[in-house]
Amino acid sequence: MTAQAQQPKSCHLSLPHEVGFHCASTAIRACLRHDGHVISEPMVFGLAAGLGFSYFCVNGFSPSRLLGCRALDVERKFYRRVAAPLDYVGRFDPEAMLAQLQAGRPLLARTNLMHLPYYEPAFFPGHTLVITGLDLEANRVMVADVISPEEQVITLEVLERAMGEASPPGMDAYDWAPAPRVQQPLVTPQRLAAAIREAMLELMEPAFPHTGFEAMDHLAQDFPNWAQATDWAWCARFAYQCIEKRGTGGAGFRTAYADFLEEAQQMLPQLEALGAAKRCRGIAQGWHDLAACLKEIFVTENPQGFQQAASLMEDITHDERALCHVLYDLAAPWVDEPQPLP
């Protein structure tokens, strides 16, 4: 008998990856383009109901105060929206990863950025990238990440470490999955309205603690206390980065969401009639102002500036609440009540 040919221990997909503003929406966009679907990154972000907010005090980590300006679980929400559920595997299994790549499927994976050697070390769970290639014998993993148009190369040990630490509610251990295949049309008025309504509902009635408008209120109240933290300068610097620099598109994703609303108004003209995108850009300016305040705090080494940050945060929260109610009501005729994730 002739021995069966041994299955190759490596595979590398050529992914149409481009630098974007956010890790998850950039990764999803690349996977969609791999299958021939071309939509903008703001549209990916909007369909994923990506707008949100979270605020955590995590003593013992660096920094000890951590804010995020997007919703949780945007990857699963996007694929649920387009009727192609994303199911994470939940274990580290390089052989299974290789099999999916050999079947032509790029792999979406959540990681903790602090373990990726091409980033400045900082505790940042839920960072999404695309695994595009594996070479098990050479111990090499190729990944497409938002940081660069070029692929990054890491070891399997680094990948396992980056994926293996659970950080609920934003990341479970070994959150990876083959990117689902989706069908056209991706974008419909009903899907746009459902995505808008879901994002607004999560801000108003958050499913997780430390998120939504409750978290924004908490941050506004807590900002003056940041001056007492031993790492107050690093907290201010990191918060500034989370608003302006760390994959947000500027203004804590509010500029990106305004871009989404402008694009969505082609199918939902009520958005244009209400000036939704313009109002969102006004809110984005408030986030720019807050970021500038935080930058001045750490540059001038003046923690008294946290008082001004608190006032700016109060104004932002007031304006976002007002727009949120308008958008929620606008979407109501198009959709039933949003269904929570399983």
- Quick one: pLDDT at residue 5? 56
Mean pLDDT in residue range 89-97: 97
Specify whether 317 is located in the same domain as 284. Answer: yes
pLDDT at 189 over 70: yes
- Quick one: pLDDT at residue 336? 58
Specify whether 204 is located in the same domain as 249. Answer: yes
- Quick one: pLDDT at residue 340? 45
Peptide bond into 185 cis (omega under 30): yes
Specify whether 306 is located in the same domain as 168. Answer: no
Q: What rounded mean pLDDT belongs to the chain?
A: 93
Residue 218 lies in a domain: yes
What is the tens place of the pLDDT at every residue in 237-268? Answer: 999 999 998 888 999 999 999 999 999 999 99
Element (H, E) at 35: none
Mean pLDDT in residue range 54-73: 89
Specify whether 234 is located in the same domain as 280. Answer: yes
Specify whether 264 is located in the same domain as 245. Answer: yes
Q: Identify the domain boundary among 178, 206, 223.
A: 178
Distance CA 285, CA 255 (A): 9
- Quick one: pLDDT at residue 59? 81
Specify whether 135 is located in the same domain as 277. Answer: no
Q: Identify the domain boundary among 149, 178, 207.
A: 178
Q: Identify the domain boundary among 116, 149, 178.
A: 178
- Quick one: pLDDT at residue 6? 67
Specify whether 219 is located in the same domain as 288. Answer: yes
Peptide bond into 169 cis (omega under 30): yes
Q: Count Cβ atoms below 10 Å from residue 109 Cβ, excluding itself.
A: 24
Specify whether 112 is located in the same domain as 247. Answer: no
What is the tens place of the pLDDT at every residue in 37-55? Answer: 999 999 999 999 999 999 9
Distance CA 288, CA 255 (A): 10
Which one, of 18, 3, 261, lies nearest residue 130 by Cα?
18
What residues make up the domain containing 124?
1-25+90-178
Specify whether 221 is located in the same domain as 173. Answer: no
Q: How many domains does the chain have?
A: 2
Residue 8 pLDDT grade (very low, low, confident, very high; cuts 50, 70, 90): confident
Specify whether 202 is located in the same domain as 318. Answer: yes
CA angle 173, 176, 177 (to 5 degrees): 145
